[in-house]
Amino acid sequence: MERNVKIDYSNCLKAFIGEDGISIEDIKALQPKISEASESINQQKARGKLGFMELPYKDDLAKKIKTAAKKLSSKYENFVVIGIGGSALGNIALQQALRHPFWNLLDKKERKGYLRLFVPDNVDPDLISGLIDVLDVKKTLFNVISKSGTTAECMANYFILKSILQKKLGKKYNEHIIVTTDAVKGYLRETVIKENLLSFEVPANVGGRFSVLSPVGLISAAFTGIDIEKLLNGARIMDKACSSDDVFKNPAALYATVQYLYYWLKRPMSVMMPYSNALYGIADWYRQLWAESLGKEVNRRKEKINVGPTPIKALGATDQHSQMQLYMEGPQDKVITILSVGKFNSTVKIPLIDGHYLGKHTLNELLKSEEEASRLALTKAGRPNLTVSLPEISPETIGQLLYLLELATAYIGELFDINAFDQPGVELGKQLTYALMGREGFEQQLSEIEAQKKKYKENKYII
């Protein structure tokens, strides 16, 4: 199978949008930087640092996961992912993209024996207690996912659900838990050994937000009947299609280059707007991928600077009635990526009522026309926009799209000269949470919090 996820960047070029466009020469001028980026990526890959690039080739692992899903699904009705950030967003994205939009409302026969999926990726008490209200834990398999095995949100939800399981099932509770975590480190790995739990590994060289094609994303996908081997095949196709260091022959490098050029042309807002509800979860996943990877403080010529495009998600046609006015006439600070689907899985005819013009059409034609109209309107208004098109939504095309965006993140990280694979900025918030929750070793942070609180008490600016 050939790559069939394509990027049309015509509407970013001067020839199409006028003054605010970039030119082919601008892209060519970045070729030396792209060549350096390719070399650096290849070197890091060879040193085993970029584990996400190895994942598409782990067919044996996919087979193992598929077998476990086939064997265990008959015993359960529900599958619950307990995780947050990179340990949840990919699961949601795959589910939304590749399953029925109301999957959890289908009966087991309609789901072909596969499980309902719930991903409660927050510690909102109403969310968790609401989930407990509707779940029969005896018919539920829980997948606790945490690379570090320590993240507070994940651990708290795990403890709550584990204690319910223990109360209802006694010693057999452990048959209802699958753990996905680091191979050797962390509290969760210790628990796996102590309590004899079924477990899978998050490779040490794969960061959370790059882990959707690892057991982190593949297990829940397999338990809901997604063909994960085809998904990996799609990613492999894209990996091969991105092997050139020529920016015009490498879609990931090209996407990164266009976004990078526009970032420095005072367009730091990167909107992703699928014209498909199924792809909305991918826009959300991309939001994390882009934000956590690229929002960084860097040292440039002994000076600290802050970089990072702001990823924004929008949905066509819904957000034409919410965001489009801003995109058309608001500040010239955005570049818009439209995700376009060639052929939807269903065709829905609009009935002819009272001779209304819509009655001659399908919803497919209406949504396509809205997409086309937005693209034309944005272009006419000189607003740069790209279209990433998928001929259809299938495991192969989704595998291509996810991998394209992951590799593009690695490329733009190189262009920005930052480490796209760490997240030091998230640490402070985590440490302060630990201090507030009384974790040992965070006394210093707690006294800082107390001092800060005192300041607020003395100066109240609350209305």
Among 151, 250, 259, 385, binds ligand PA5 (CB under 6 A): 151
What is the residue-wise DSSP string for 15-34? HHHGGG-B-HHHHHHTHHHH
Binding mask 47-66 for ligand PA5 (x = CB under 6 A): --------------------
**Which residues make beta-bridge pairs with 144?**
82, 179
**Which run of H or of E encompasses 439?**
none
Min separation Cβ 86 and ligand PA5, Å: 3
Asked if 81 interacts with ligand PA5 (CB under 6 A), we say no
What is the residue-wise DSSP string for 348-378? -BPP--TT-GGGGSBHHHHHHHHHHHHHHHH
Out of 109, 171, 302, 321, pick the active-site residue: 321
Comparison of 254 and 291: residue with beta carbon closer to ligand PA5: 291
CA 461 – CA 439 distance, rounded (Å): 31
Asked if 225 interacts with ligand PA5 (CB under 6 A), we say no
Q: Is 356 a known active-site residue?
A: no
CA 314 – CA 282 distance, rounded (Å): 11
Binding mask 299-338 for ligand PA5 (x = CB under 6 A): ----------------------------------------
Asked if 189 interacts with ligand PA5 (CB under 6 A), we say no
Among 121, 239, 292, 414, binds ligand PA5 (CB under 6 A): 292
Asked if 34 interacts with ligand PA5 (CB under 6 A), we say no
Comparison of 177 and 273: residue with beta carbon closer to ligand PA5: 177
Asked if 154 interacts with ligand PA5 (CB under 6 A), we say yes
Q: The dihedral of CA 357, 362, 365, 369: what is its sign?
A: positive
**Which residues make beta-bridge pairs with 341?**
390
Asked if 423 interacts with ligand PA5 (CB under 6 A), we say yes
Q: Is 430 a known active-site residue?
A: yes
> Residue 12 corresponds to which amino acid?
C
Q: Is 321 a known active-site residue?
A: yes
Phi, psi of 65 (to 5 degrees): -65, -40
Token duo for residue 230:
């085809």
Min separation Cβ 426 and ligand PA5, Å: 7
Out of 201, 292, 396, 414, pick the active-site residue: 292
Asked if 399 interacts with ligand PA5 (CB under 6 A), we say no
CA 87 – CA 148 distance, rounded (Å): 10
Contact in structure between 395 and 234 (CB atoms under 8 Å): yes
Query: Please, which contacts does 328-333 make with residues 24 or more away whose CB atoms are closer than 8 Å?
Result: 328/377, 328/378, 328/381, 328/383, 329/381, 332/20, 332/266, 332/267, 332/382, 332/383, 333/266, 333/267, 333/268, 333/269
Asked if 84 interacts with ligand PA5 (CB under 6 A), we say yes
Asked if 271 interacts with ligand PA5 (CB under 6 A), we say no
Helix, strand or coil, per DSSP, at residue 143? strand
Min separation Cβ 422 and ligand PA5, Å: 9
Among 116, 176, 209, 267, binds ligand PA5 (CB under 6 A): 209
Binding site for ligand PA5 (CB under 6 A): 84-87, 146-148, 151, 154, 207-209, 292, 423
Residues annotated as catalytic are: 292, 321, 430
